[in-house]
Amino acid sequence: KISRTNAGARRSQTPTQRPPPPFPTLLLRSPPPPRGEMPREIITIQVGQCGNQIGAKFWEVICDEHGVDRTGRYEGDSELQLERINVYYNEASGGRYVPRAVLMDLEPGTMDSVRSGPFGQIFRPDNFVFGQSGAGNNWAKGHYTEGAELIDSVLDVVRKEAENCDCLQGFQVCHSLGGGTGSGMGTLLISKIREEYPDRMMLTFSVFPSPKVSDTVVEPYNATLSVHQLVENADECMVLDNEALYDICFRTLKLSTPSFGDLNHLISATMSGVTCCLRFPGQLNS
């Protein structure tokens, strides 16, 4: 039994006050970057016949996406097309947009075909660097002899393009590993750029040879010698396989006799998709 005095004492006691709940924790997100922020430029380097062909197709695609015509004039209808256009283009006098591209080869034929192409007049004429001898599908010629003689001229053009950038983000290299120039001189250039710009991104679009789609017998040797250089000096390597591209043309696109133009179209679509987040504003790269 509880006595009345104890019960009354219990009633008279003031209830203990509970401590206030803790202040709710808020998950704070950093605000998105302001629109119109300074873009980080990317320099495109096209090496050899294959590299220049897929590079020319790439510029056709992104010129269409950014509303730039064949003379470099803007004819688009959206502000988004111009917001980050300086990543891949340099605005020249008269409002023309010039690609931040360096085109190189060890023979002049590919340069002539790019110049005479649909977007050949959009490139800066000084950025065409070529030799006269060719590499003859020989990796050593591109890496040690003919390519080594031309490499200083190419690096001078690369430096000029880098000096025109406010905040250089990196380089993207288009080349193949089956020939002599793209594999030998391409990897030589990548190693030289890595020495001179060690803290900049290096992305490569590398077309690998395959047994079913082969032009020359020495393609596997050229590719084997190049892979070591890519592993050492490239940050990211987009592997493009001719055999897989042909399978897409046969099975998916139902093309009976796909040409190299069809393959280059597939590669340019891939390159456009990979670089889309760098060329247009969005949360992915904020």
List per-residue pLDDT tens for the chain, 286 residues long: 455 555 555 555 555 566 665 544 444 443 444 444 556 899 999 999 999 999 999 999 999 999 999 999 999 888 889 989 999 999 988 889 999 999 999 999 999 999 999 899 999 999 999 999 889 999 999 999 999 999 999 999 999 999 999 999 999 999 999 999 999 999 999 999 999 999 999 999 999 998 877 778 999 999 999 999 999 999 999 999 989 999 999 999 999 888 888 999 999 999 999 999 889 887 665 5
Residues 6+ apart with CB under 8 A from 73: 95, 96, 97
Conformation bin of residue 252: beta by default, left when phi > 0, alpha when psi is -120 to 50: alpha
User: What pTM did the predictor assign?
Assistant: 0.83
Say how far apart CA 194 and CA 171 lie, in whole Å: 10
Q: Which two tokens stand for residue 74?
A: 């803007």
Quick count: other Cβ atoms within 10 Å of Cβ 193? 22
173: β partners: 45, 204
Going from N- to C-terminal start, the domains of the chain cover 37-279
CATH fold group of domain 37-279: Rossmann fold (3.40.50)
